[in-house]
Amino acid sequence: MIIQPKIRGFICTTAHPVGCAAHVAEQIEYIRSQDPITGGPQKVLVIGASTGYGLASRITAAFGCGAATMGVFFEKPSEEPRTATPGWYNSAAFTSQAKRVGLYSRSFNGDAFSDQMRQDVCQAIKEDWGDLDCVIYSLASPRRVDPKTGTIYKSVIKPRGSSYKNKTIDFENTQVAPILLEAASDQDIAETVKVMGGEDWQLWIEALSAENLLAPKAVTVAYSYIGPEVTRPVYRNGTLGAAKDHLEATAQRLDQIMRKRQGRALVSVNKALVTQSSSAIPFIPLYFVILMKVMKQKGLNEYCIHQMYRLFAERLYNGRPLSKIPVDDRGRVRIDDWEMRSDVQEEVRHLWEQVDSGNLPKIADIQGYNDDFLKLFGFGFNGVDYEADVPIEVPIAGLF
């Protein structure tokens, strides 16, 4: 099939298998170009392993530390005439590259929130590894089925307390437009915490612990976001922020379990980046396009893979004892340090105040955002022939 991008709102409904493979290869290449990470984990489970931060974590663990990896994700295979989702093609590319260099990888496509998935993964760890030394939790989902009750919870993005008005970007016509978000109800907040809070992460760690699959000194990390003043009413002080508060509180609880085995449970606060999940959040894309411009000008721009290399190499491993992992006053690892630098934020704030439809292309990196967005779906890579007829059915090696 000849595959072109088909954009609907904030998603692209097609994905290019060769382009997604190029995206994965680019990230592997970056990791290979860096100093190897010493003392890194050797048996790593990544929950949410097919796109964004989870995929970058899996690549860093495998190609930066030489780790065997298991990855859990929820992706759709192709079904003529529909292409597979990007995460499917990414995982196919990852596993084939891992296999080529003799790195173990096994993947599980299905609902990570379900007890069945936990059982399947635990069984595989028992059979193939005996135990593991790192669990990365990188799920981003709009809904969760509670495994005990079957209740479906939906996460929403709303401010807490009162409604909030500000500006956002309308990508259809590249205009800055006003947006009003209604205040969340108590139910909205509770449901978002159920989906994106720490409950499911805790269930995973408890299941692994109960089966005695956590090796001594094992580490588990989940990802959070804080962000600046301008996104605070909608993000950190909104429903998603409530979920992140819960995730961070869960890290403190899990740390007690992990420390008994000389290990750690931590939250890493990552940089705002264009991923399939984040592009759906109001305000955030307008903040991104301004942030990107400022960070590029200062030579500080990073993508998921750069962030994950810094997390593994400069925070978690490279001979550093687990008790010496640098954390903030709330026990969080911070790799959003460049985004949050005062000179960066001051300039972003200044530009945010000025931005309107007229000056948007000058003030913000619209082209960069569009390019990055399309890359998530495998489009825009040099060396990929987008006029070529390519097979859309691509198998994932080692798929459970």
Reading the block at residue 326, the tokens are: 């640098």
Q: Among residues 96, 183, 92, 131, which one has the least CA distance to residue 396?
A: 92
The residue from 225, 309, 312, 317 that contacts ligand NAD (CB under 6 A) is 225
The residue from 73, 153, 204, 287 that contacts ligand NAD (CB under 6 A) is 73
Q: For residue 266, state whether it binds ligand NAD (rule: CB under 6 A).
A: no
Q: For residue 369, state whether it binds ligand NAD (rule: CB under 6 A).
A: no
The residue from 138, 155, 168, 231 that contacts ligand NAD (CB under 6 A) is 138
Which residues neighbour 33 within 8 Å (Cβ) at sequence distance 6 or greater? none
Q: Which position has the token pair 């307390």? A: 161
Q: For residue 223, state whether it binds ligand NAD (rule: CB under 6 A).
A: yes
Q: How far is the CB of 207 from ligand NAD (least distance, A)?
A: 15
Residue at 347: amino acid letter: E
CA distance 13 to 123: 34
Q: Which position has the token pair 């612990």? A: 209
Residue 77 CB neighbours (<10 A): 18
Q: How far is the CB of 152 from ligand NAD (least distance, A)?
A: 12
Question: For ligand NAD, which stretch binds (CB under 6 A), given 25-33, 44-52, 185-193, 323-331?
Answer: 44-52
Name which of 75 and 215 has its Cβ closer to ligand NAD: 75
Residues 88-127 that bind ligand NAD (CB under 6 A): 111-113
Reading the block at residue 8, the tokens are: 């609907």
Name which of 111 and 211 has its Cβ closer to ligand NAD: 111
Q: How far is the CB of 232 from ligand NAD (least distance, A)?
A: 14
User: Can the peptide bond before residue 178 be classed as cis, meaning omega within 30 degrees of 0?
Assistant: no
CA distance 302 to 90: 20
**What would the x/- binding string for ligand NAD be over residues 272 to 311, using CB under 6 A?**
xx-xxxx---------------------------------
Question: For ligand NAD, which stretch binds (CB under 6 A), given 22-30, 160-168, 223-231, 356-364?
Answer: 223-231
Residues noted as catalytic: 235
Q: For residue 141, state whether it binds ligand NAD (rule: CB under 6 A).
A: yes
Question: For ligand NAD, which stretch binds (CB under 6 A), given 19-27, 69-77, 209-217, 387-395?
Answer: 69-77
The residue from 17, 19, 40, 48 that contacts ligand NAD (CB under 6 A) is 48
Ordered strands of the 105-109 beta sheet: 105-109, 68-73, 43-47, 132-137, 214-224, 264-269, 333-334
Q: For residue 374, state whether it binds ligand NAD (rule: CB under 6 A).
A: no
CA distances in angstroms from 298 to 249, 293, 294, listed in the order given: 34, 9, 6
Q: For residue 139, state whether it binds ligand NAD (rule: CB under 6 A).
A: yes
CA distance 180 to 184: 12
Residue 158 CB neighbours (<10 A): 20
Q: How far is the CB of 70 from ligand NAD (least distance, A)?
A: 13
Q: For residue 201, state whether it binds ligand NAD (rule: CB under 6 A).
A: no
Q: How far is the CB of 387 from ligand NAD (least distance, A)?
A: 28
Q: How far is the CB of 244 from ligand NAD (least distance, A)?
A: 7
Q: For residue 51, state whether it binds ligand NAD (rule: CB under 6 A).
A: yes
Coil vs helix vs strand at 161: coil
Name which of 72 and 363 has its Cβ closer to ligand NAD: 72
Name which of 130 and 395 has its Cβ closer to ligand NAD: 395
Residue 324 CB neighbours (<10 A): 8
Does an H or E element contain 289, and which? helix 284-297
Q: How far is the CB of 388 from ligand NAD (least distance, A)?
A: 27
According to DSSP, residue 399 is labeled B
CA distance 94 to 90: 6
Furthest CA-CA distance within the chain: 60
* Terminal C-alpha separation, the chain: 27
Tell how far CA 162 is from the center of its chain. 29
Count of residues near ligand NAD by CB under 6 A: 29
Q: For residue 239, state whether it binds ligand NAD (rule: CB under 6 A).
A: no
Given the rule CB under 6 A, which residues bind ligand NAD?
48-54, 72-75, 87, 111-113, 138-141, 223-225, 270, 272-273, 275-278
